[in-house]
Structure 1
Amino acid sequence: MSNASPSRGGALPLYHHLFEFLYRWGMLLTVVALIALFGVANENFLDPYNIINILRSIAIVTVIAIGVSISLSVGGFDLSVGSTASLANALVISFLVWYGMDTIQAIVLTLVICTLIGLFNAFLIVVLKIPDMLATLASLFVIQGVAMTYSFGGSITQNMVLPSGDMAEGVIPALFSALGQVPVIVFIMLVVTLVIQLYLSLTKHGRRMYAIGGNPEAARLAGIATARYRVLAYVISSLLAALGGILLASRIGSSQVNAGGGYLMDAVAAAYIGFSLAGSGKPNALGTLVGAVLLGVLQNGLVMMSVPYYAMDIIKGLVLALALAMTYIQKR
């Protein structure tokens, strides 16, 4: 009598169980291993001040990356989040220092304007049927150009000289400045993560978005309004990118040219790394947060070990490749 093979109901080999365990929890183990490694290599790494610095550094990336995850949940991809954050950065500071608005007015108006970006992306993708990546790539350039034009190609700061020759009289309120500081910025990051995670995993709308991302034709035949949910996904993505830009403005106290552009690749990496959390194989906010923590720990630890900044992207790329390999090999 021959031994039963796994395909015939026999026990799975040990290496399969090991692979399954690493697939589910490998990213968390990697984060723990990196923290231990950097903690041994540099005694200052585990200093509470440095841990706070890491959390502050990943907050903006996490918020923007969760927006990318929302677009991925419906099978799309939003490349415009970096330029949206740049535009929000310019808008909110200008409303404060050019027009003298208060914090609430400036934030609400910025979010409303950035909602139009999500609607523009949805128009290109849902109505004109342009592939998501190409549509949002075009949108990236448009929004970046709008941000540059609006800010006259320069920074926006308190007491700046306007193109008219007048002095900007508005100030950045203390309330607004507090948004980008610990603990408020970390609290905002955690609230966004929790709300989006609960939305995607526990509500019918979140499950419908996953269904669209898994098989849009089957979702349509099941009666799901696929176009409506795709529009919603891009609006939420733009709003979260705008929130990231607002937090960035609060953190640095000014608007810098293309300030949000540098967050795009880290946000995309965090979103894709998050696929492998607990073996979910799909976009999720908690996984995105852990992905951002992984990137933040990597970057902070490498800086402490005096690794040249131009070599860090190599390591980030390898980590992203490993996370994608773990996700897609499992799907085969």
Structure 2
Amino acid sequence: MANVRTIVYKYGLLALFALIVIFFFAALPAFGTVQNLYVILQSVAVTAIVALGVTVSMTVGGFDLAVGSTVSLSVMIVAAAQIYYGLGVVWAVVLGLASGLLVGLTSGALIVFAKIPDMLATLGSMFVYSGLSLILTAGKSVSTGNGYNGQAARGNWDPKLLWIGGGTVLGVPFSIILALVTTIVVVLFLTRTRTGRILEAVGNNSRAARLAGVRIGRYRILAYMISGLLSALGGVVLVARVGRGDIDVGSSYLLEAVAATLIGYAVLGANRPNPLGTVIGALFVGVLVNGLTMFNVPYYTQDFIKGTLLVVALVVSFSKIFNTQQKED
């Protein structure tokens, strides 16, 4: 019986993923096409990038709730830089990414210096920067020809920016390639670098890390800055894909990124934040949403289904029913 529970614990989520893919493939002929595969991967790209940031914050024992507002802020800054002020693509992207670093720095400083618990600090940052993203554009979406406060727009979308979201390299959408490269970089950073290993040590046992001479505060701030940077990168990809700066567009990515990260806990029984599991979790959610959409399942039921999937993954990861590594109280 213990062996069965161990197998379910380690491989249950992957088996469920495979069964869902096989079912959709058999029931929906259009599901298995290369074109639909690209649609799934493009929809997952932003979620995966943002979720990797959440994973880094969870590696140090934290939890970044500000990722959704960071996406929104980055989207609005890039859009405003291009349309309102006519700045080039380099400046627009740099300003968008810098906003993510600012959000991460703010959250980290609140946690380390003000001693505010992670979730409360990032919750505060979430509201502050969500509001700031609205203030920057007077609460209006940014689109072609749409100026600020009655003034004429000074610029337009740079084709180079739009290429980030819609361009291809050898037939493969660039956003997918960017998400793959980001995944590889985060995996190598956390597993192959001294800094990455210290981040994991801080999350596993911060007291032991402090006694070993690690400056805990610096690494916690670094983790949140990386999380903010990746969230902002997701925002850049998103605005480049849709060619429009919609208000509060990043709010849905908080739930999806957190879901992908926590589902990743159940991949191969990792029971901890891990970037590969996070990406698989994002793919799981993306495939599920795509298949349900092709089945014409109402959109308002999809959050319920995604939430149910997340609960199942958490039960597999943390419940003593399957996780035989959990100690009895």
Bucket of the pairwise TM-score, normalised by the shorter protein: over 0.9
Distance apart, 1:253 and its partner CA: 0.3
Q: 1:291 to 1:244 in 2, by over 3 A?
A: same
Residue of structure 2 aligned with 1:249, choices 223, 239, 244: 239
Superposition pairs of residues 278-289 of structure 1, within 5 angstroms: 278-289=268-279
State TM-score, norm by structure 2.
0.93
**Quick one: percent identity of the two aligned structures?**
41
What's 1:66 paired with?
Answer: 52
Moved more, 209-218 or 189-198: 209-218
For 1:176, give the aligned amino acid: L
Structure 1 residue runs of 4+, over 6 Å off?
A: none
Residue of structure 2 aligned with 1:76, choices 62, 77, 92: 62
What's 2:100 paired with?
Answer: 114
Say whether 1:326 aligns with 2:312.
no
Distance apart, 1:257 and its partner CA: 0.6
Question: Conserved in 1, the CA contact under 8 Å of 2:69 and 2:126?
Answer: yes
2-structure distance, mates of 1:162, 1:291: 39
Question: Conserved in 2, the CA contact under 8 Å of 1:197 and 1:286?
Answer: yes
Say whether 1:297 aligns with 2:283.
no
- Report the secondary structure of 1:44's partner residue: helix
What's 1:35 paired with?
Answer: 21
Residue of structure 2 aligned with 1:166, choices 142, 148, 151: 151
What's 1:191 paired with?
Answer: 181
Superposition pairs of residues 1-332 of structure 1, within 5 angstroms: 15-163=1-149, 165-181=150-166, 182=168, 183-329=173-319, 330=323, 331-332=325-326
For 1:22, give the aligned amino acid: V
Distance apart, 1:306 and its partner CA: 1.8
1:39-80 CA deviation, whole Å, 9 max, x = no partner? 112111112111110001010000001100010000000000
State TM-score, norm by structure 1.
0.93
For 2:317, give the aligned amino acid: T
Q: How many residues align?
A: 317
1-structure distance, mates of 2:289, 2:48: 15
2-structure distance, mates of 1:95, 1:61: 24
What 5-or-longer segments of structure 2 have no aligned partner?
none
Of structures 1 and 2, the larger Rg is shown by 1
Distance apart, 1:162 and its partner CA: 2.5
Moved more, 77-86 or 25-34: 25-34
Distance apart, 1:169 and its partner CA: 2.5
Moved more, 56-65 or 209-218: 209-218
Q: 1:119 to 1:83 in 2, by over 3 A?
A: same
For 2:51, give the aligned amino acid: A
Distance apart, 1:91 and its partner CA: 0.2
What 5-or-longer segments of structure 1 have no aligned partner?
1-14
2-structure distance, mates of 1:98, 1:66: 31
- Report the secondary structure of 2:140's partner residue: coil
> How large is the Cα RMSD of the aligned pairs?
1.2
2-structure distance, mates of 1:61, 1:17: 34
Distance apart, 1:21 and its partner CA: 2.5
Distance apart, 1:223 and its partner CA: 1.8
For 1:239, give the aligned amino acid: L
Question: Conserved in 2, the CA contact under 8 Å of 1:158 and 1:169?
Answer: no
Question: Conserved in 1, the CA contact under 8 Å of 2:83 and 2:147?
Answer: no
- Report the secondary structure of 1:169's partner residue: coil
- Report the secondary structure of 1:39's partner residue: helix
For 1:177, give the aligned amino acid: L
